[in-house]
Amino acid sequence: QVSCLNEYMEGYVHCPPYDNTYIDLPFSDFDEYLESLPSKARRSVRITINRAEKKWKLKPFSTHEFSRWKEVAHRLQRFVCEEHHNFRWHLPLTFYDALETHLKDDAELLFFFKDEIPIVYGLALNSPESCQYKFVGIDPAYRHYHAYFLLYYEGIRKAIERNQSRIYFGTSNYEFKEKIGCQRESLHGFLKLRNPVLNTMMQCYVAGMKIMGKTVEYT
């Protein structure tokens, strides 16, 4: 399909971002989803969930009250930004206020708590057909509880319960996501700068990135 666009994109550079990941959900419940996984992956998921529930007493909590929980989500996401030295995607507090105003019924915050302490969060955007997890935040002091992985399992469970047919998990951590059944979906992007000199430089840059097997990160 992308090749068909080339004749209309003269002067643009095709520079696809990282692949997206998704799981199709033709399952009646979470147990049926688990049965679809290879035995090693299925065993790993069950061990993680059992340990979280029975040994560590971690509890999931979901909410549409974005303004009430925005400071907690903002703080947890900041830890991830600090770890990667990248604050481009650090959502401002006003973002959560906007969610509550415009998307309260179509978005959701998912937390896991240790006792009374929120240790991880994810943001889900929902439609009748699909669910998309876009952002996460983790308190590094509680990383040994593996609550990051629990976000995925709980997200899949909730999507199946909502009868959604697909769940998206973003453009990173491919090795883990493929173990839990994710497939990759190619994304495509075209760039063109108004300044012809800068556009030529950008074309060279993108070509060099492709030679090195890297992709262009979008902001």
**pLDDT per position as a tens digit, 99-115:** 999 999 999 999 999 99
The predicted structure's pLDDT at residue 15: 61
Query: What span, in angstroms and rounded, lies between the C-alpha atoms of 5 and 118?
Result: 46
* pTM to 2 decimal places: 0.81
Q: What is the rounded end-to-end Cα distance, in angstroms, of the chain?
A: 25
Give the up-direction half-sphere exposure of residue 12: CA atoms within 13 A in the CB hemisphere.
15
Q: What are residue 56's phi and psi, to 5 degrees?
A: -100, -10
Instruction: Please give the Cα distance from 62 to 214 (Å, whole number).
Output: 36
| 62 and 108 Cβ atoms separated by less than 8 Å | yes
Q: What is the mean pLDDT of each successive set of 10 residues along the chain, which is 219 residues long?
A: 58 68 97 97 97 96 96 97 90 95 94 97 96 94 94 97 96 91 79 72 68 58
pLDDT at 198: 73
Residues composing the chain: 219
Token output for 23 = 């799981």
Q: Beta 58-63 vs 107-114: how paired, if at all?
A: antiparallel
The Cα 44–Cα 48 span in angstroms is 6
**Which pLDDT does position 128 carry in this prediction?**
95
Q: Which residues contact 18 (CB under 8 A, 6 or more apart)?
A: 171, 172, 187, 215, 217
Alpha carbon dihedral 153, 214, 206, 83, in 10-degree steps, equals 60
Helices (H), the chain: 2-5, 30-35, 39-50, 66-84, 93-102, 147-161, 174-179, 196-211
